[in-house]
Amino acid sequence: MTVINPFERFERIERAYTAALGGRDPAIVDIGDLLPAIFAAVPDATVKEIAEALCWSARKNFREADALERWSQRKRDLDDPGAA
């Protein structure tokens, strides 16, 4: 059996979740409808692992958005130093 880094598994689950969404808004799609597609893509995943992967994905996306906002603010400050 090949040992896989937990984050690699989370990324596989995240990709399967995104593919299962198929562009639909996650706020209006029941996760239960997506589970068969996720299990098909990652057959040995558990419901707990899927939940952990989606929480990890949300935290990762929040950190990336926060970093982008801080970078944008810094760029605005550099572009217009008198505005600060």
Token pair belonging to 24:
């639909």
Q: What is the pLDDT of residue 82?
A: 67
Rounded to two decimals, what is the model's pTM?
Answer: 0.69
3-50: per-residue pLDDT in tens?
577 789 899 999 999 999 999 998 999 999 999 999 999 999 999 999
Residue 73 lies in a domain: yes
- Work out how many domains the chain is built from and give that number: 1
Range of weakest confidence among 33-37, 49-53, 68-72: 68-72
Cβ(62)–Cβ(55) under 8 Å? no
The answer to whether position 1 is within a domain reads no
pLDDT, greater one: 54 or 71:
54
Distance of CA 62 to the CA centre of its chain: 9
Give the structural domain span for 55. Answer: 6-83
CA-only gyration radius of the chain, Å? 18
